[in-house]
Amino acid sequence: MAYTVAIVGATGAVGTQMIEQLERSTLPIAKLRLLSSSRSAGKTLQFKGKDIVVEETTESSFEGVDIALFSAGGSTSAKYAPYAVKAGAVVVDNTSHFRQNPNVPLVVPEVNAHALDDHKGIIACPNCSTIQMMVALEPVRQRWGLERIIVSTYQAVSGAGARAIEETKRELREAVVDGVNPKDLKADILPAGGDKKHYPIAFNALAQIDVFTDNDYTYEEMKMTNETKKIMEDDAIKVSATCVRIPVLSAHSESVYIETKVIAPIDQVKEAIASFPGAIVEDNPSQQIYPQAVNAVGKRETFVGRIRKDLDAPKGIHMWVVSDNLLKGAAWNSVQIAETLHERNLVHPTKDLKFPLE
């Protein structure tokens, strides 16, 4: 069977990557439909050498669609995903809108593909920073259990969208070429477009991704906490995150500290991660080999290195985790979910999901 697949948000940074990932995918595709806002409708994009005209997303856009990949913002998913499901499509949503809904599985295929089995028409793709951490930690959790996770992220500006990339390039140009003091650079987007103040990212590190919640953590940090517990199906795991934006264009990096339930020999930890699907160990301190953002760009895998025991905590382990946030952190994970739905024979209409979701 070959499917009709739609991409909502096809002209965005993630949407264009979804097209590329579908070209490389094992998913049998009979027809690809590209959907966007009215601003981008009428543009032409290519899929496997053929021109496809981008259509405006409407309530009737999903007739005949089997799989709909959404990456156009939470409000778009909230509005149009119900129409896609009612038309008989399975929705894979790359926004945060459905992630914590108990009726919606939150899936990293290498980690919890079984969660797809009971889907009711919508599957959520986790946050980019959560996805790569799950790939690195799941093989450890399976063998030795996890008590605590403390993660500090070093996230690329592409996670904030195309305008953030352009703002970063402009600031770096003005600082380097024009000699503007970095603290005097004009910022309009980062650290969070919807917040009151904006700060330059050039030659800077911003300890804020998304806006702050009432508990003084940002929404990005709470996403990592809550999503980890849901994906690993364990509310007892202690998770704390500090999320930082740095002037790197693509690929997120993370310093991850974990405490296992039982002592884990470090050589076995490296072996477990290296043999886990989607993970690649790059770890040779004597040769200065460890994951780097510039090397991860354009690759689907998650790279793990600097794996070492904590010097004071017998069950403590440190590691460094890097992945392309637009690929494994978004587009590839979404397409991978679609592939897994096909492999498990789960691409079928649902009658069980009622809107608004309870």
3-state secondary structure of 306: strand
Question: 25: Cβ–Cβ under 8 A, 6 or more apart, which residues?
Answer: 335, 338, 339
Burial 119-142 (b: 16+ CB within 10 A, else e): bbbbbbbbbbbbbbbbbbbbbbbe
Instruction: Establish whether 252 is a catalytic residue.
Output: yes
Binding residues: 11-14, 39-40, 99, 155, 158-159, 245, 325
Q: So what's the pLDDT on residue 356?
A: 74
Predicted confidence (pLDDT) per residue in 119-144, tens digit = 999 999 999 999 999 999 999 999 99
Q: How confident is the model over 197-210, as a mean pLDDT?
A: 98
Q: Which two tokens stand for residue 138?
A: 């799941």
Q: How confident is the model over 276-295, as a mean pLDDT?
A: 98
Binding residues for substrate: 155, 245
Q: So what's the pLDDT on residue 346?
A: 97
Select which of 125, 128, 243, 342 is catalytic.
128
> What's the mean pLDDT when you consider all of the chain?
97
Q: Record the pTM.
A: 0.96
Q: So what's the pLDDT on residue 353?
A: 74
Binding residues for phosphate: 99
Q: So what's the pLDDT on residue 358?
A: 54
Q: Which two tokens stand for residue 200?
A: 């330059």
Instruction: Establish whether 198 is a catalytic residue.
Output: no
